[in-house]
């Protein structure tokens, strides 16, 4: 590294954080590839069956390997057995944590949570804290001072990479942070990311984690054996290399501070075994652009928009060659950037909006033909309104702009009687407007709507009303 190489401040409360806001990089307006909205809705549909099969296979693998490792624990076979078990539990649990955190693995919300919480524990990520961390990662991907999930701050070094792979620093650091949270001591980063209404939840989740780790340690001491710790808690450290192995391919070495995932994120073709362990997150540009699409439809999404993206890396090895080259260059010159060929195409146009002047009686009449699951965007004297027909066929009218981060719900997905935001998978009840899934904390205004004869509807625009939080 040159003696004068500038070191940027990656903390969330430092000078780079202020600069990111000043430069318009915080909660910015991101490029999205163009795709037919109907096709995108089709690709975003979830089923329980596919995720149930994949999850059962994965848990079966983890439990089977655990039983195997335990049964040979006093032999040398225990070494490879625990290494493989650790990689599955402490490494590939990351992909399950991630997909279920987005709520896109299963169609049924509680099934996502059922997998999300244990997999959060397996990688020592406090469930609520890391949910909020990941919302921020999607809002401000690889924006310095805003994104808490940047693995390689510049200038990167080989030592950093080795530490990341072994997790001998990251794992204990996470565990120590959890222990502090268990005593109610929340650090500044946690306070920035997590709204106050969730602080108690963070503390109690930390206590549960610490209690489980403590049980494993007591068991190990009582049996005078390290095996209980290798089984519970230990994989977070000695098995995390697999999580890092995949995770590094997502953004390492690519551009910082750019509102276009094609420059900051990497798509890599991987073999079927890797794709199973990693739940197709190798299609990472696609995932960041359209996080509503579940993991098993990402290859199809890739095929739809590939001509608007940089060429994917042909293999994991090719991705690592690119990453090591970038790390070497950025070690000497932190401002060095990979020169990717990004197609010069216009981004996805916003939804078609039918505009109206403010009617004297607050009622708007218009012809509407919507099938279940379809939406229509209107604007009444500047007020953005969404008309949506739910899965049961009932028509609803609610405000159109997400109360969390200004995303347009006309680009969202109707699921049952809810609308899911396209940006962070937050959800609103279409009947009441209430938030039903984090990160939503403020409800949408609801407008009354009446279906008239002849395919017309009448919408009565309401004044502002209630506020409510997400229930999950
Ligand atoms: S913008 Fe974050 S959930 Fe809508």
pLDDT exceeds 50 at position 1: no
Q: Whose CA is nearest to atom 1 of ligand 1?
A: 405
Question: How confident is the model over 440-458, as pLDDT tens digits?
Answer: 999 999 999 999 988 899 9
Distance between Cα 325 and ligand 1 center (Å): 36
**Is residue 470 within 6 Å of ligand 1 at its C-beta?**
no
pLDDT exceeds 60 at position 202: yes
pLDDT exceeds 80 at position 466: no
Residue spans of the domains in the chain: they are 15-332, 353-460
Distance between Cα 313 and ligand 1 center (Å): 30
Residue 166 has a pLDDT of 79
Residue 164 has a pLDDT of 81
Residue 117 to residues 148, 185, 215, 316, Cα–Cα distance (Å)? 20, 22, 18, 29
Residue 93 has a pLDDT of 97
- Comparing 125-134, 360-369, 386-395, the range with the smallest average pLDDT is 360-369
Question: How confident is the model over 400-429, as pLDDT tens digits?
Answer: 999 999 899 999 999 999 999 999 999 999
- Distance, in Å, from the CA atom of 318 to the CA atom of 269, rounded to the nearest integer, reads 9
**Is residue 421 within 6 Å of ligand 1 at its C-beta?**
yes
Distance between Cα 42 and ligand 1 center (Å): 20
pLDDT exceeds 60 at position 471: no
Share of the chain above pLDDT 70, in %: 97
Tokens of 218: 């007591």
Distance between Cα 471 and ligand 1 center (Å): 15
131, 195, 423: residue to mutate for ligand 1 pocket, most atoms within 8 A of CB: 423
Distance of CA 399 to the CA centre of its chain: 25
Residue 221 has a pLDDT of 98
Residue 346 to residues 139, 304, 326, 349, Cα–Cα distance (Å)? 21, 15, 28, 8
Q: What is the mean pLDDT of residues 220-247?
A: 96
Ligand 1 atom, smallest distance to 440 CA: 3
pLDDT exceeds 70 at position 16: yes
pLDDT exceeds 60 at position 211: yes
pLDDT exceeds 60 at position 25: yes
Q: What is the mean pLDDT of residues 89-98?
A: 97
Question: How confident is the model over 378-401, as pLDDT tens digits?
Answer: 999 889 999 999 999 999 999 999
Number of residues that make up the chain: 472
Ligand 1 atom, smallest distance to 406 CA: 1
402, 428, 444, 470: residue to mutate for ligand 1 pocket, most atoms within 8 A of CB: 402
Residue 468 has a pLDDT of 43
Distance between Cα 324 and ligand 1 center (Å): 35
353-460: what CATH class?
Answer: mainly beta
Q: Is the dihedral of CA 309, 313, 314, 316 positive or negative?
A: negative
Q: What is the mean pLDDT of residues 192-214?
A: 98
- Taking alpha carbons only, the member of 273, 255, 275 closest to residue 263 is 255
Distance between Cα 383 and ligand 1 center (Å): 18
Q: What is the mean pLDDT of residues 247-260?
A: 96
Provide φ and ψ at 397, rounded to 5°. -130, 125
Q: What is the mean pLDDT of residues 34-55?
A: 96
Residue 464 has a pLDDT of 60
- Distance, in Å, from the CA atom of 416 to the CA atom of 435, rounded to the nearest integer, reads 14
């Amino acid at each position: 590294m040159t003696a004068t190489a500038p070191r940027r401040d990656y903390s969330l409360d430092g000078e780079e954080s202020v600069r990111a806001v000043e430069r318009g990089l915080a909660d910015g307006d991101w490029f999205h590839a163009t795709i037919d909205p109907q096709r995108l809705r089709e690709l975003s549909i979830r089923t329980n069956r596919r995720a149930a099969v994949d999850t059962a296979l994965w848990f079966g693998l983890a439990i089977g390997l655990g039983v195997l490792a335990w049964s040979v624990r006093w032999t040398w076979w225990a070494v490879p057995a625990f290494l493989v078990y650790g990689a599955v539990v402490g490494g590939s649990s990351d992909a399950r944590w991630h997909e279920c955190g987005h709520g896109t693995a299963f169609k049924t919300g509680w099934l996502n949570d059922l997998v999300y919480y244990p997999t959060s524990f397996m990688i020592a990520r406090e469930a609520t804290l890391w949910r909020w961390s990941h919302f921020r990662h999607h809002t401000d991907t690889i924006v310095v001072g805003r994104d808490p999930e940047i693995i390689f701050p510049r200038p990167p070094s080989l030592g950093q990479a080795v530490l990341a792979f072994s997790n001998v620093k990251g794992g204990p650091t996470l565990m120590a942070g959890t222990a502090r949270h268990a005593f109610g001591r929340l650090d500044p980063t946690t306070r920035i990311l997590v709204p106050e209404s969730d602080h108690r939840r963070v503390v109690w989740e930390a206590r549960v984690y610490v209690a489980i780790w403590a049980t494993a340690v007591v068991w190990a001491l009582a049996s005078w054996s390290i095996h209980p710790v290798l089984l519970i808690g230990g994989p977070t450290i000695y098995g995390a290399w697999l999580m890092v192995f995949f995770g590094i391919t997502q953004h390492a070495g690519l551009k910082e501070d750019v509102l276009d995932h094609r420059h900051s994120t990497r798509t890599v073709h991987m073999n079927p075994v890797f794709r199973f362990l990693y739940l197709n997150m190798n299609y990472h540009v696609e995932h960041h652009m359209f996080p509503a699409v579940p993991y098993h439809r990402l290859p199809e999404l890739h095929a739809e928009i590939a001509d608007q993206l940089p060429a994917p890396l042909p293999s994991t090895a090719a991705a690592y060659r690119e990453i090591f080259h970038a790390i070497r260059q950025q070690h000497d010159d932190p401002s060095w950037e990979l020169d990717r060929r990004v197609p010069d195409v216009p981004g996805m146009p916003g939804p078609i909006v039918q505009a109206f002047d403010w009617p004297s009686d607050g009622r708007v009449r218009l012809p509407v033909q919507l099938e279940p699951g379809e939406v229509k965007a209107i604007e009444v004297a500047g007020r953005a309104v969404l008309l949506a027909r739910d899965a049961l066929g009932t028509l609803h009218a609610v405000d159109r702009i997400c109360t969390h981060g200004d995303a347009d719900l006309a680009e969202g997905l109707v699921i049952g009687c809810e609308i899911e935001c396209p940006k962070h998978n937050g959800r609103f009840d279409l009947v009441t407007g209430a938030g039903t899934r984090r990160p939503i904390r403020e409800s949408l205004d609801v407008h009354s709507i009446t279906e008239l004869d002849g395919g017309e509807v009448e919408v009565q625009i309401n004044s502002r009303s209630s506020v409510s939080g997400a229930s999950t």
